[in-house]
């Protein structure tokens, strides 16, 4: 059960948490939009080429980074 205080000293914290939540959703939407727009080019330029260290680094940064961001959002949502 969630208990909220009606103490005005807590209101800035609640507002900051709400703003952080909105910014997290906006950033996630931006990342997903970018992924959807560039996926065709990624398949053509990355997945169909000969694998190299740069290919692996690109994929790690692209997909592990998204996974870590999702994981951190899930962990912060539980607080």
Let me know if residue 54 belongs to a domain: yes
- How many domains, the chain? 1
Which residues have CB under 8 Å from 49's CB, separation 6+?
55
Which residues have CB under 8 Å from 79's CB, separation 6+?
none
Overall residue count recorded for the chain in this entry: 79
Let me know if residue 47 belongs to a domain: yes
Sign of CA dihedral 41, 43, 46, 48: negative
Full pLDDT tens readout for the chain, 79 residues: 456 667 777 777 777 878 888 888 888 888 889 889 999 999 999 989 899 999 999 999 888 888 887 787 777 665 5
For residues 73 and 61, what is the distance between their CA atoms, to the nearest angstrom?
18
Let me know if residue 49 belongs to a domain: yes
Q: Which domain holds residue 38?
A: 12-77
Let me know if residue 37 belongs to a domain: yes
pTM of the model: 0.63
């Amino acid at each position: 059960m969630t208990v909220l205080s009606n103490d005005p000293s807590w209101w800035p914290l609640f507002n900051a948490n709400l703003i952080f939540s909105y910014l997290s959703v906006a950033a996630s939407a931006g990342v997903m939009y970018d992924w959807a727009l560039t996926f065709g080019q990624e398949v053509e330029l990355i997945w169909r080429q000969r694998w190299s260290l740069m290919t692996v680094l690109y994929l790690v940064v692209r997909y592990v980074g998204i996974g870590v961001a999702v994981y951190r959002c899930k962990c912060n949502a539980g607080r």
